[in-house]
Structures are given as structure tokens and as C-alpha cells.
Structure 1
Amino acid sequence: MEKTRKSARRRGRAVTIDEVAALAGVSPMTVSRVVNGHGKVRDSTRERVMRAVRELDYTPNLAASSLAAAQHTRIALIYTNPSGAYLRELLVGLLRAASRTAIQLVIDYWDDLDVEAERKAARTLARKVAGVILPPPLCDSKTAVMELVRANVPVVAIASGRFSEEISCVRIDDFRASKEITEHLIAKGHTRIGYINGRPDLSASVRRFEGFQAALDEAGIALERGLVQQGDYTYRSGLKAAERLLSQRRPQTAIFAGNDDMAAAAISVAHRRGLDVPRDLSVVGFDDTSAATTVWPELTTIHQPIASMADAAIDILLRSIRRKDRSTRVLVDHVVPYRLVSRGSVAPPLPAGRQPKGG
């Protein structure tokens, strides 16, 4: 199969549906059903076909009418996330999917809308697009979800902490990921760990904090409320939270921030106070955005494949949009794998008698 892929590219011709079928181990008819969103196909088979499509960079040779329909399929991303690094990752995935599927991608920015304004914006958008992608924090907006579902517009949430009973979702297991990175700190010898929480109204924030708590509980470490500070996923909120943590009389040996932006801010505060990271203070983040590798030292973090999640969200939306029977909604809970990325921001704590005071 590897030889088939290389020879197709070497000859400079388009990859065929037969080659996709061979790589996925299915019939060309099954590939056609998956790509065009027609007919019933098992989820496991669909995922296998879509992996082959992405690996071979396959572009379906649609009939003119089908191609015209795809070019007029408008899918909206509603965005209000304050993290520029997160937005870049998200757009990479969406633009890649838009190029592959010939859809029209619409970016709608909702900034500080109250409930009524959000309701009106959702109603207006529902009349203009065939599907909607909701990344954080709007993935947990009951108002937006309710209006779009009521308008019978397919919706996929990206990076929600839990599967919704109303819309499809592409996510990681935030609880397990958070628990794993906390266990990583504990295994290094850290028992006094500060935590910078994300927005409390987001399910992902809740699940990440629950994972942090679970790791402490299993290790027999009591949770000190003073070591938990509130942020909102912005760099500035991370600065304020880290200042509060590092101003305490009894210093932490590690800080776990709910995203990379806040973790980068914590490193900045540590440096300003004369602390060496990771010798005096270990810091970990979450998401593995560009912010994780533009700070020194680079962050140990949880890699959330944001671009791939956006690509998968487009595939789920297109299958829903192309379903002939729209009288019932088919919801998908697509949980993608994460991984812990170990970089230079974590080390064992100093011996008790050599703990830094900060400044």
C-alpha cells in the first residue's frame, strides 16, 4: 500500500478511489458512501476510510452537480476564544479541510454578546449556513446551541469537556489528560502544586480540575484551596494568578496551568521573581499550542491535536448535512487521543532545606 501511494505521487496524477479503498481495506463503493455522506457505514469503517483519504490526500472526483453543491456548502466557525495561539491551530485544520472538501468557510466573531444578542446572532447565522462549528467557549453555550438546534442546523462542538445530548462533539478526555500530567509532576517528587484554573463556565475547565484533584487524592496529597487560583485562559489572567501563587509564604515547587498561555505567564512571573524554571519551580500547561515552544524553557504540556480535531469536525458536519433523512439527528462523540509532551519546564524539586524564597 505504501508503494501504491508513492507511485501515485511520483507519476504526478490524482489519487484514485480504488487506491483509497485498498489502503482502507474496503470497497470503492464504501469509500464513495463515506466521502459523499450517503448510506449507512459503521463508524469504525468511516474513520478508517477518512484516515486513508487524509493520508493519500485524496480529492473526490465528484460529478459537476455534486461539486457545485459542495462549493455552495457554507460552514461557519463562531469564534470568541481569547487565545491567539489556539485560534491559529484551529484555523489550520479548518482551512485544510475546506481546501479538501471544497466547502465555503465562514468566520463569525462574537465578542462579549449578552444572552439576547447571542440568541439573535445564532438565528441570523442559521439562515445563512448549512452547519456550524463551536470551539471553546461557545461549545458550552446553551443559548447558541439551543437556537441552532431549533433551526435544524447541524452543529459540532470542538474541545468540550463532555459529550452533549444536543450536538456532536470532537474532544479529548480532559480528565485523564489532566490526571496524567499531574501524576507526571508527582512522580518527579512534587507534592505542593499550584493550579491555575480556566474559565469556570467551561466543561473542559471542570474536567481538567477534576483530573488534577483525582491525581492528588490517589497520591494522598491534600488539596489546599490557597494553591488553586482562577484564570480565564488569557495570558494576563495567568500573570495575576501566578503572582498570587508565588506571593505565598510557603512556596510551591510546581504550577499546573489550565492552558499554555497561562503557563507561559507563570514562567514569566517566576523569572521576574528571580526563580529558575525548572530548578526552583516546575511549570506545565495544556493544549501544546505555539505558546508552549515560544517560551524559555519550553513547556511540558498535553498535546491536544486542535488542527486535526477541526478537520474531523468538518467531516462529521458534512456527513450530517448530506444525510437524506434529516428528521432525526445522528450525534457523534469523537474522542481523539492526546499525549503528554515532556520538555524543559519540569525537574525534581529542590531538597526541603534549599527551597527558594522568591522575591
Structure 2
Amino acid sequence: MPRRRQAVTIRHVAADAGVSLQTVSRVINKEPNVRPEMMERVQASIAKLGYVPSIAAQRMAGSRSYLIVALNDRERTIAGWRNREGTDWVDQMLLGGMLTCAEHGYRLLVELVDTHNDHIARELLGAIAAIRPDGVILTPPHSDNPHITQLLEAQGISFARIGSVKPGAGFAVAMDDAGAARLATDHLIALGHRRIGFIAGPNEYELSGRRVDGWRAAMAAADLPTDHLLEQGDFGLASGRAATLALLDGPVSPTAIIASSDQMALATLELARERGLEVPADLSIVSFDDTPIVRFVHPSLTAVVQPIADVTAHAISLVIAEQAGQSPSTAPVIVPATMAVRASTGAPGAARPGGGEAQGYAGPPAGAGIVTEVSSDH
């Protein structure tokens, strides 16, 4: 049986580099106050010896665990998995979170927590005791749950609130939801739409109100009314269908609808087909999220592209910086959104010469395979 190779330890690195154990530890943990030449020497020894830091050893040596926990909504996440509807939001969160953690020698774990659980404090405290994370990332709607934020604050745990810009403990990092809604509305106004309906998300999500505010602001700036053009859903298909029905059968029939999630936008598209409405000639549709499915339906949906990976990366960077003894600003970090313009938006009532896209369609030429990106940072 071959002999197992002796593990390289921090002591081997320190001896090879000719520095103290404390210096090697500072370099590994990316702590400040290490001279560049000393850092290069330690890093060269780490590379030569093939040293891999052990989180378990790091935890035993100090107070940090080098683990970040992201708390995601249990009910919605599991429902999406079971219905095989895709988990692009979670995927993008993991993309931004894991890559950022890896840059700093951290690991990212995901825990599912039910906001509506009466035992949420006990459940959360149990997870914290078992994992002992250095920080917590809260995703909507947990970002706005005072029971969770107060519990973390009382425990002295660094945390960031994704999707929340309200004053309070922790770091607030969010997409520019109001700007994204203005972006979508302005796009439709530029195409000639004057009756633009909006399907909002549930009130338990702070971002839902910001999106409505952005839509109202864009409509007001163009001197357009919003009466009878606002309905609310819960981000799901059924609620999107009910909201679209209410808009189309209401006193002001819209020529365009903005839905606050891809699922609700897909319900709008399905109902439009059932009504015999041409998209976008009779009804333009804009979605939020830009999950993969909206690119492959016909017509492909114009959508606000949520910068979830970037938002998560910002959130984790702030938590890690605080753990490293830095004092990052607690001012809310707002990340601009972009919009992918596709075939579901066009001028209202435009003819369709030759069976092609409606006139006024602002997207790329057919077959170009390129999506027009418009930023909300303007």
C-alpha cells in the first residue's frame, strides 16, 4: 500500500519563507498591514509546497469560521425545485457568492428558512449554533423580516440584506428596482405606448413597492395616467394570469404590460394567445428576472436583467471586509439593472408586413443572436 504523503502545514510554509506563523496567517487571511514583499514571499512558498489552508484548522486557531451562510426562502425555493421551474435566482446568487467567497478563502453555505414559521427564532439559532458562520446573507423576503435582523444583531453576527434599502442594521445591497421599472416603462413609452399596465409583486417584498414607484414616476414624467392599470400578484403563474385578466377586462385596456416576474409575464403571454392577441402588435410584454425560459418562448420576452450575482458579490465583500477589521460604509449599495430588448415589445397596433415582427420593434434584427442591453444607471 503506498504511503500517504505528509500534509503540508502552515509551519512548513513559515519555515520555507523564513517568516513567522503569524505572518503566514495574515497572508492566508488577506489581512492588512502585510508588506508586499513579505506577501509575495509567503505566496511563493505556498505555491511551491502546494499548501492548501484548512478551514477546520483556521477555525481552531482563531475566532473566525470562514463560512458565510445565505438564507433563502424555503417555500418558494422548494416549490421551484419540485415544479422544475428552474432556479436561476439561486444559481446567480451562488455564482456571485461562491466566487467572491473563494477569493477570500471563505465557503458559502445555503440554508432554507420559512419567514412565516412561528419557530423561526429557534430554527435560525439552531443553524447558527451548528455552523458558526462569520456572516449571513439575507435574501428577500428575509431581508425585510425584523425578527431575523434583530436576532442576528443581538447575536453580534455581521450580515447583509439583499434587496433591501431600508435603514437598519446590516449592510443593504439591492438592484435599482425603481430605476429598472422606469427603464422598462420608458422603453414602452418610446415605442408609442400610452396605456401601460403593471403587475406588482407581493407586499412582503420591499422591492415590489420600489418597482411600482418607478413605473408611476415614468408614467407621470410622460404625463400618462395610471388609474386602473395596476394589479398585484405573488410572482407565480396563477397570480399573473389573474392580474392580466383584470387588466385586459378593466376600464382601461392596456397596450403593454410590465410583469414583476418571468412567471407572471409567461402567464400574460399565455392569456394573450388565448384571447387571440398578437404579441407585440396587440400587446407588448416586459418581464423582470430574465431567466433562461423567456429567451426561448415565442416571441422571446423583453426583460429586466437582475444583476443578482453582482449584488450578492457586493454583499459578501462587505461582510468579509467587516470580519477583516475594516469599516466599510453602511450606506446602501444600489446596483444598476440592464434590460434585454427582444421580440415581445413593439409599437402599439403596428402592422406586421410579410409576417415579420411588428413595426417599431426596438430589438436586434432577426437572426442576429444579439440582445440589446440598456442600463438603468442613467
Q: Which bin holds the TM-score, normalised by the shorter protein?
A: 0.7 to 0.9
- The amino acid that maps onto 2:172 is C
Alignment correspondent of 2:188? 185
Relative to structure 2, which stretch is displaced further, 228-237 or 66-75? 66-75
Q: Is the 8 A contact 2:138 2:159 kept in 1?
A: yes
Q: Secondary structure at the match of 1:286?
A: strand
Query: Aligned equivalents of 1:89 and 1:63: distance in 2?
Result: 27
Residue 112 (structure 1) shift = 5.3
Return the offset for 1:329: 8.6
Task: Indicate whether 1:126 and 2:128 are aligned.
Answer: yes
- Distance verdict in 2 for CA 1:163–1:294, change over 3 Å: farther
Q: Distance in 2 between matches of 1:143 and 1:291?
A: 35
Please tell me the root mean square deviation across aligned C-alpha atoms, in Å.
3.1
Q: Distance in 1 between matches of 2:349 and 2:329?
A: 53
In structure 2, what residue type is equivalent to 1:242?
T
Instruction: State how 1:1-359 maps to structure 2 within 5 Å.
Output: 36-38=30-32, 64=53, 68-69=57-58, 72-80=65-73, 81-82=76-77, 84-111=87-114, 113-114=116-117, 116-127=118-129, 128-160=132-164, 162-224=165-227, 226-248=228-250, 250-323=252-325, 331=330, 333-350=332-349
Partner Cα separation in structure 1 for residue 162 and residue 245 of structure 2: 31
> Are 1:261 and 1:291, in contact at CA under 8 Å, matched by a contact in 2?
no
CA distance in 1, matches of 2:180, 2:27: 34
**Number of positions where the alignment pairs a residue of Structure 1 with one of Structure 2:** 296
Shift of 1:191: 1.0
SS of corresponding position for 1:92: helix
Contact 2:321 2:328 in 1 (8 A): no
* Cα shift at 1:64: 4.8
Q: Deviations over 1:79-100 (max 9, x none)?
A: 1145633222222222333444
Match of residue 47 from structure 1: none
Aligned partners of 1:238, 1:141: CA distance in 2, in Å? 25
Could you tell me how far apart the structure 1 residues matched to 2:267 and 2:333 are?
A: 32
Change (3 A) 1:264 1:85: farther
Amino acid at match of 2:160: V
Aligned residue for 1:237, secondary structure, equals helix
Corresponding residue SS for 2:288:
coil
Once the 2 structures are TM-superposed, how far is the Cα of residue 156 of structure 1 from its aligned partner? Answer: 0.9
| TM superposition outliers: structure 1 runs of 4+ over 6 Å | 32-35
C-alpha distance in 2, partners of 1:134/1:34?
A: 27
Q: Aligned pair in 2 of structure 1 residues 99, 350: CA closer, same or farther (>3 Å)?
A: same
TM-score normalised to structure 1 length: 0.73
1:281 deviates by 0.5
Change (3 A) 1:90 1:318: same
Answer yes or no: is the 8 Å Cα contact 1:126–1:151 preserved in 2: no
Quote how far apart the aligned CAs of 1:37 are: 4.9
Contact 2:163 2:206 in 1 (8 A): no
Q: Secondary structure at the match of 1:278?
A: coil
Using the size of structure 2 for normalisation, the TM-score is: 0.70
CA-to-aligned-CA distance 1:244-279 (integer Å, 9 cap, x gap) = 222336521000111222212211221222212111
Contact 1:130 1:321 in 2 (8 A): yes
Relative distance call for 1:288 and 1:147 in structure 2 (3 A) is same
Which has the higher Rg, Structure 1 or Structure 2?
A: 2
Distance 1:120 1:210, change over 3 A: same
Q: Secondary structure at the match of 1:129?
A: coil
Q: Which moved more, 1:191-200 or 1:95-104?
A: 95-104
Instruction: Give how far 1:62 is off.
Output: 8.8
Q: C-alpha distance in 2, partners of 1:153/1:335?
A: 23
Q: Distance in 2 between matches of 1:94 and 1:102?
A: 12
Q: Identity of paired residues, percent?
A: 29
Residue segments in structure 2 that go unaligned for 5+ positions in a row: 1-25, 34-49, 81-86, 351-378
